[in-house]
Each structure stands twice: as structure tokens, then as C-alpha cells.
Amino acid sequence: MTAFDPGKPDGANQSLEIGLPNGGSPELGRRYEIPARCGRAVKVQRGQSLKVINPVGFQVCDFWIFNTEDLNEYSSMEHLHTSLLSVMPKVGDGIVSNLRRPLMTITEDTSPGVHDTVIAACDHARYRQLGVEEYHDNCVDNLRQALLAIGHRAPAIPAPFNLWMNVPIQPDGRTAFAPPVSKPGDYMTFKADMDVIAVMSACPQDVTPVNGEGTTPDRLEFQVDAA
């Protein structure tokens, strides 16, 4: 068998062609779009803030953070759970890495604060299991392509921080995929604690109601603001 290569996409979409120039460097204060079903990566320097905007309200954002200096250090949900003693990050919480260092801190959240930190990003294998036979856009390929588009390869597929994704956990451990409770225009702001590359995927899930009931996966927006 061929060894699994975390950096290699299983398929392709527009994500590969919409990389920001100069290795992912944003124009400060400019609003960028993440097209529906796609992913984009952006460099955020220490002290700068990244605002992730949900224009339609029901759109989930799979979110990852990498240390710009060493992509082997990245946001880790299992370390975050230990750090926060919670599976539900909120304003003031630092998103920590697999080396237990804060990468970015949540400074604003206009939504009711329901986000997911326990579910894997959707991928090629997931859609196969859901009965989709042809290639389906997926968050893991969006992560891979968004990094390739700015000159990097994903060294691993970390567990994502799923902004606005609603996965209630019952006392007996059972979970469910429920529609988001966020509203149009909700946004979250993350202040960088070190130089990072943030990757956002507008989740293309349209088989389970992760992105709402009776809705179609839609765009997201983001901007980076000065320190």
C-alpha cells in the first residue's frame, strides 16, 4: 500500500487558485471572500486581528491555525480542552497548539457562542461513507489546497475548530449534528499571539444539516486588522 500523505489533496477546486499574494499576506482592513465550498489561508502577524464573518449566518467555518515559523506546531483541540477545561471556547480563551502555546485569542464573538471542537473535518472518505460517489468538495482538501496556494504543504490534518457548528453533547456522551444557531452577519475575532497562518474552509457539507436545514453551503468573509 502507498503511505498516507497528509499534504496531498484527493481532488481539487477553486481553493488552489485563490491564494493571497506573497505567501498569504493580506492587505490590512480589506474584506476578502471565501467562496462557497472553498478554503483560503492568510498570514496574521503577532498583534494583528483576524475577523471571520458569516454573512448568511448558517455557514460553518472549519478553522485551523499554524505557527508561521514551523507548521508542525498547529491548533490542537485535545490540548485546547485540557487548557480550557471545556470543549466550548469563548471570548478571552486562547486557542493553543499541540505544544500547548497560545496561537490566537478569541476577542469577539457576536454569535450565541455555540461552536464545535470534537468533530473531524469532512474529507473524501467521509462523503464516500455518506453515499456520495463522485468527488465532493471537502474541508480537508480545502485546508490542503489553501496551504498549497500560498506555498506550503499541510504537515498533518489537525482536528479543526468548527466555528458556528452545532454539535450538542448529551450527558451520556451522545452527540448530534444540529443546524447552527448563529445569525446573518455574525463574526468572530481572533488576535494573534504569535505570527500564524490561519486557514478557513467554508464547509461544503450538504448531506448532513451541519450548514443548516434546507440551505446550500455559502460563502464566508474575513479581514485582517492592524495591531
- The residues that bridge with 196 in the sheet, in sequence order, are 44, 67
216 binds its own copies (CB under 8 A): no
Among 48, 49, 59, 76, which residue sits at the site for its own copies (rule: CB under 8 A)? 76
- Quick one: CA dihedral 206, 210, 216, 219, positive or negative? negative
Which of 129, 216 has the CB closer to its own copies? 129
Q: How far apart are CA 112 and CA 118, in angstroms?
A: 18
Residue 104: in which H helix or E strand, if any?
A: strand 102-109
Cβ distance 41 to 198 under 8 Å?
yes
Which of 48, 205 has the CB closer to its own copies? 205
Q: How far apart are CA 25 and CA 163, in angstroms?
A: 23
11 binds its own copies (CB under 8 A): no
x/- binding map, residues 24-63, to its own copies, per CB under 8 A?
A: ----------------------------------------
- Grid coordinates standing for 137? 468538495
211 binds its own copies (CB under 8 A): no
Between CA 82 and CA 210, with CA 118 as vertex, the angle to 5 degrees is: 150
73 binds its own copies (CB under 8 A): yes
Residues 124-163 that bind its own copies (CB under 8 A): 125-126, 129, 156-157, 159-160
Q: Quick check: helix, strand or coil at residue 23?
A: helix
98 binds its own copies (CB under 8 A): yes
**Residues contributing to the site for its own copies (CB under 8 A):** 1, 3-6, 69-70, 72-73, 76-79, 81-82, 85-88, 98-100, 118-120, 123, 125-126, 129, 156-157, 159-160, 169, 171-177
